Amino acid sequence: MSLPARRSAWQGYARASVAASTCRLDNPPMFRLCTAANLPEAYLLLHRLAQSGIEARVLNEHAQGGLGEIPFTHAYPEIWIMEPADEERARRIVLEFEQTPSTPDTARCAACGEMNPQAFEICWRCGNILR
């Protein structure tokens, strides 16, 4: 299997977390998959993982200010998977995810103004029903 020469931040983060996995704690058996550039991306990826039956969480979600504001460095949302055995499948999804155009279709929440992926039915930030 040959990877494209292009190396994105996603892959970089994925690589970086491999080392961390070797000393993971067994309880809880959570595993950091990667770091997302922003919250909508994190939640979109979470959605993709869920569609493939992979249980995941977004951590660090409150570390970032609102979109459009100057982001805090080193405070990117992190994707953690609950089952380390899902890692290989999850990484493939991350790879596919980063190869698709970023922010394909988004819908703005009428309640809080946050952008949500088109696939979402409720706003990830405030829980408002989007359609």
N- to C-terminal Cα distance for the chain?
42
| Contact call for residue 128 and Zn ion (CB under 5 A) | yes
Entry field: residues in the chain = 131
| Minimum CB distance to Zn ion smaller for 20 or for 110 | 110
Residue 97 CB: number of other CB atoms within 10 A?
A: 17
In the stretch 37-76, what mask flags binding to Zn ion with x, by CB under 5 A?
----------------------------------------
Applying CB under 5 A, which of residues 9, 82, 111, 122 lies at the interface with Zn ion? 111
Residue closest to 117 by CA, chosen among 125, 101, 128, 106: 106
Query: Are 54 and 81 spatial neighbours (Cβ–Cβ below 8 Å)?
Result: yes
| Contact call for residue 36 and Zn ion (CB under 5 A) | no
Write down the least CB distance from residue 115 to Zn ion, Å. 10
Query: Are 30 and 81 spatial neighbours (Cβ–Cβ below 8 Å)?
Result: yes
Stretch that binds Zn ion, among 29-37, 44-52, 82-90, 106-114 (CB under 5 A): 106-114
Strand residues in 41-94 grouped as ranges (E): 56-59, 78-81
Q: Which helix (H) or strand (E) holds 86?
A: none
| Minimum CB distance to Zn ion smaller for 16 or for 129 | 129
Applying CB under 5 A, which of residues 67, 85, 126, 129 lies at the interface with Zn ion? 126
Q: Which residues form the interface with Zn ion (CB under 5 A)?
A: 109, 111-112, 114, 123, 125-126, 128
